[in-house]
Amino acid sequence: MGFFDRVKESLSKAGFDRLKEGLTKTRQGFVDKVETIFTGRKIDEVALEEFEETLIVSDIGTTAATGIMIRLREKARIGDVTDVNSVKALLKNEMTDILGESQPILVHGTKPFVILAIGVNGVGKTTTIGKLASRFRSQGKSVLLAAGDTFRAAGIEQLEIWAKRADTQFVQHQKDSDPAAVAFDAVKAAQSRGIDVVIIDTAGRLHTKSNLMEELKKVKRSIEKAMPGAPQEVLLVVDATTGQNALSQAKLFNEAVGVTGIALTKLDGTAKGGIVVAIRKSLGIPVRLIGVGEGIDDLRDFDPREFVEALFS
């Protein structure tokens, strides 16, 4: 193995170890319980009912849990699943199948590639935007950040700090101005300057407030008016620690503006990592990114196989 191959392997292992560490709480709340239920015990209906409860409590969701239980009961009936190791093997296969292939954000098509970032308050949306901008810059792409959260002066300032840190261009209007106008101007500015990627921040909003969701629809229409076919990515940022509430958020935001991908933050601080499975199974929306720490490199492309492997390691 050559020097660069060894470096690549080392970096890959370091990333996997970081992911594994970040999933510690989810592992303790899920995989460890699976081992407790089935170790040294016959796989009977009592054990299976305990396991089904664990699936639901782990925020994998009722839809995914039901499908897994149907498969497990059938495999147990014909003798293909007989002990804790075979249960875990089945679980890994089922979760990997549900999550499908990796679907990261891929910049493509006519410049600029526009990302509309949305979500409720406090999910880490602006930080996620900043880290994503830094990643694109490290790949040699030009980036423009747009301060569409016009109602929070601190929100504009925070995004501007990220813009300077990531060496990106920055568009803002005065506080309390129309966020749709900010989005329109940002896209037009990016077109005239030949910018590769535009990321538009928006105010955090409760998904249950219809007037705020209508405002978000207006922002999206404004982007489409500035550039037909944009935004190419509507990225919903959700906090993994909220568990099933994240699924509710994804559902309502998707109905309003058509979510194309999800960034799941704070996975390292929760035992509710199973929500990844629930979102994919119930809504079919790919998880693009996961956050497993505070560092700039802790925002990672979501790799389903790596995720499952790290969870069960």
Domains and CATH numbers, the chain: 3-99 (1.20.120.140), 113-312 (3.40.50.300)
Q: How far is CA 13 from CA 7, 9, 118, in A?
A: 10, 6, 32
Q: Letter for the amino acid at 136?
A: F
Q: How far apart are the C-alpha atoms of 162 and 279, rounded to whole Å?
A: 29
- Where are the alpha helices (H) located in the chain, listed in sequence order? 3-22, 24-29, 31-38, 45-57, 62-77, 84-99, 125-138, 153-166, 179-193, 210-226, 244-257, 275-283, 304-312
- Residue 122 is predicted with a pLDDT of 87
Q: Taking phi first (over 0 means left), then psi (-120 to 50 degrees means alpha), and beta for anything else, what does residue 249 get?
A: alpha
Return the exposure string of 20-51: e unless at least 16 CB atoms fall within 10 Å of the residue's CB, then b: bebbebbbebbbebbeebbeeeebeeeebeeb
DSSP result, 101-162: S-------SSSPEEEEEE--TTS-HHHHHHHHHHHHHHTT--EEEE---TT-HHHHHHHHHH
pLDDT tens digit sequence for 279-290: 999 899 999 999
Closest CA to 220 of 263, 174, 253, 175: 253
- Residue 243 is predicted with a pLDDT of 85
Residue recorded with tokens 């594994």: 20
pLDDT exceeds 90 at position 155: no
pLDDT tens digit sequence for 31-79: 999 999 999 988 999 999 999 999 988 888 889 999 999 999 999 999 9
pLDDT exceeds 70 at position 5: no
User: Strands 299-301, 287-291: parallel, antiparallel or unpaired by DSSP?
Assistant: antiparallel
pLDDT exceeds 60 at position 233: yes
Q: What percent of the chain has pLDDT over 70?
A: 95
Average pLDDT along the chain? 90
Mean local confidence (pLDDT), 1-9: 41
- Residue 208 is predicted with a pLDDT of 63
How does DSSP classify residue 71?
A: H
How does DSSP classify residue 270?
A: -
Q: How far apart are the C-alpha atoms of 240 and 35, rounded to whole Å?
A: 24
- Residue 4 is predicted with a pLDDT of 30
pLDDT tens digit sequence for 67-121: 999 999 999 999 999 999 999 999 999 999 999 999 999 999 999 999 999 999 8
Q: How far apart are the C-alpha atoms of 172 and 126, rounded to whole Å?
A: 14
Query: pLDDT band at 227, cuts 50/70/90?
Result: very high
Q: Say whether pTM exceeds 0.85.
A: yes
pLDDT tens digit sequence for 205-221: 775 677 888 999 999 99
pLDDT exceeds 60 at position 149: yes
- 11 CB neighbour count, 10 Å cutoff: 11
**Which run of H or of E encompasses 234?**
strand 233-239
What are residue 27's phi and psi, to 5 degrees?
Answer: -60, -45
Q: What percent of the chain has pLDDT over 90?
A: 67
